[in-house]
Amino acid sequence: MSTTNTDETDEERPETDDDELIAEHEKQLNDLLAEVEGPDAPEAESTLPSLGLDMSRRGLMKAGAAAGAIGTLAGCSGIGSSGAATDENSGSNDVPEHTVAPGEHDTYYGFWSGGHSGEIRVMGMPSMRELTRIPVFNPEPAKGYGFSNDTSGMLEEAGDYTWGDSHHPSLSETGGKYDGEYIFVNDKANGRVARVNLNYFETDAILDIPNVQSVHGCCIQSPDTNYVFANSEFRTPLPNDGSDINNPDEYVSLFSAIDPETMDVRWQVEVDGNLDIVDSDKDGRWVLASAYNDEEGVEIEEMTKNDRDFVKAFDVPAIQELVDAGDYREKVNGIPIVDGTKASSHNSGDSPVVRYIPTPKSPHCVEVTPDGNYGIVAGKLSPTVSIIDIDKLDTASDPVDTIVGQPKLGLGPLHTTYDGRGHGYTSLFIDSQVVKWDIEAAVNAEKGSEEPILGKIDVHYNPGHIQAVQAMSSEPTGDWLVVLNKLSKDRFLPVGPIYPDNDQLVYIGNDKDDDSGGMELVSDHPVYPEPHDAIFAHKDKLDPARIWDQADYEGEKEYIGEGDSGVERLDDSTVDVKAYVKRSEFGLRDFTVKEGDEVRLTATNIEGSQDIVHGFAIPEYDVHLALAPKDTREATFTAEKPGVYWIYCTYFCSALHLEMRSRMIVEPRE
């Protein structure tokens, strides 16, 4: 029962008798085992969906984690954590240094989706140091995001929500390689997809996808980013306007194809069942979507009733041809809706545009191997993953024949990532482990075989996403892997009832013949709730700007140079205010407007040297512009409160930062 830091937490845990706690856990575990043991177990009449798994081989500690995963155990601090310790693994001679010395740079950029923080976080890898955050679906004053006219206008047009649930970041590719131009990410909450410009590390477009409610899966088309694909997870009436509300049979899930340049939806495909995660093949043809609710249920018991769900494989060029020929069912909110259901005429012949591939029980994820040969579908409620041979999507007459392997990897397989050396790494949600396995061996083995397993390591609490470096592109580098764990309740100093989540860094560069297959857990990182997924690119793939290029906003915004500051009254109730900003002055020492005026403020940071950022904050008016060198931002507001308002700079810019001030004087109107 020894864990890495149980000793510490035991000391701090108030008056809990361990024996009693363990006995309580054992009882809960036995109850749980009865529930999950499947149809053979006499006590299987549970309201919980039967997992159909053999859990009895697992020890108490692992099953404790399983129970935590299913939510039946409360307060299992120090009990559910498994035995692999950072201490045991660190210091190995074979693992390269993962810390980065002062002044040195990391090798990789990591982009974490921020979950319901709505943002993307940028970390250095392998140090896991947080470099910056890119607000996407959330207003963020530190970057002035949602405070300037361009960013607040973008958020307003995209539904005017103040939050989003960012899940799956996807880096743009050219020729199967990350091109460093964009990162796309979905908003599960509000059915949106955003584009982040990686020159400026700033969100530059958000699309509120018509006709869908929740977007879960999101990926770019590979090898070239000609589309971004988005899966709607929640089935809703089409259109969701009050019709069919009590008729769930009529609800639909849609697969959306988005133009990455214009950020408009080109077309949508209606399917049977729902849609979960999505990934593209490497040839620009097939896109695979996992799904978990083929039953089309609206309640959990209905959703998990069947033994099979269907992965949908979309033949993208064929669907585009149908749309180009006008061969779609209807337009809803201006979007062509292609009938991709099983009964569709487009799916009845030899070349179906959507193939329905049966996979075991509510699978969660699909990830295409870097060589483009296979799509790996993790079983979630099945201990297997299914290997879909992508070439066979075109040739197999029975979709079942596209499944060429089905190794049994462990309990609760969720996501798979790759090292480019023929290995898959799958997170096991219930086992709280990572399993390394041989993909070709699994293709050659009997279905259900455990032979392809090369090793397992314990991670701490139930893992969800797992990503190896550059694994989503055609050129994985196979050295580092991050496991995004949840429920890290006893890993860090307590910080109140909402715990930090936990990312763990694993070195995968050694293919050793040991229990772990050479995997080594090297570090632990608390993260702000709740990162969902991550993607990594070598630092040479990106070349971010250090200073704004005026040409990038010319025609949209005016550059306010040193001689251009001033106040111009446009009419009785509208005033233009223009100010340059530099160390340690605003171009206007003060300016005067009248109560009730609409103030149109334009400000430019005229600094030519990188790294000198200024803020333009007006107290009590909720105005805050963040101005990077050579950047211009605008804020429009109504001066409804007469008085004096001290404008100040929010970024420390020089020794005279505090004195860098101006005044907005709002004269009372007679």
Task: Give dist(CA 388, CA 410) in Å, integer.
Answer: 19
What is the token pair recorded at 396?
């197999």
Smallest separation, CB 624 to ligand CUA (Å):
13
> What's the rounded Cα separation, in Å, for the pair 377 and 359?
8
Report in angstroms how near the CB of residue 659 gets to ligand CUA at its nearest. Answer: 9
Measured over the CA atoms of residue 394, residue 399, residue 405 and residue 407, the dihedral's sign is positive
Phi-psi label, residue 361: left if phi above 0, alpha if psi -120 to 50, beta otherwise: left
d(CA 231, CA 278): 7
Nearer to ligand CUA, 6 or 584 (CB): 584
Tokens of 619: 């107290």
In angstroms, what is the minimal distance from the CB of 550 to ligand CUA? 20
Residue 240 makes CB contacts below 8 A (sequence gap 6+) with 211, 213
> Which residue, 380 or 633, has its beta carbon nearer to ligand CUA?
633
Reported residue count of the chain is 670
Smallest gap from Cβ 575 to ligand CUA, in A, equals: 24
The pair of structure tokens assigned to 398 is 């029975």
DSSP 504-557: EEEE-----SSTTTT-EEEEEEEESS----EEEEEGGG----SS--GGGTBTTB
Which residues are bridge partners to 591 per DSSP?
664
What is the binding site for ligand CUA (CB under 6 A)? 614, 649, 651-653, 657, 660
- Minimum CB separation of residue 587 from ligand CUA in Å reads 12
**SS3 state of residue 414:** strand
Q: What are phi and psi of 371, to 5 degrees?
A: -80, -5
d(CA 76, CA 460): 13
The pair of three-digit structure tokens given for residue 241, joined into one six-digit string = 């306007």
Nearer to ligand CUA, 568 or 611 (CB): 611
Shortest Cβ 554–ligand CUA spacing (Å): 24
Question: Which ranges of 316-424 does DSSP label H, i.e. alpha helix?
Answer: 316-324, 392-395
> Least distance (Å) from ligand CUA to the CB of residue 496?
33
- In the bound state with ligand CUA, the residue whose beta carbon lies nearer, of 453 and 617, is 617
Q: How far is the CB of 658 from ligand CUA (least distance, A)?
A: 8
Q: How far is the CB of 611 from ligand CUA (least distance, A)?
A: 12
- Of 621, 584, 587, 624, nearest to 604 by C-alpha is 587
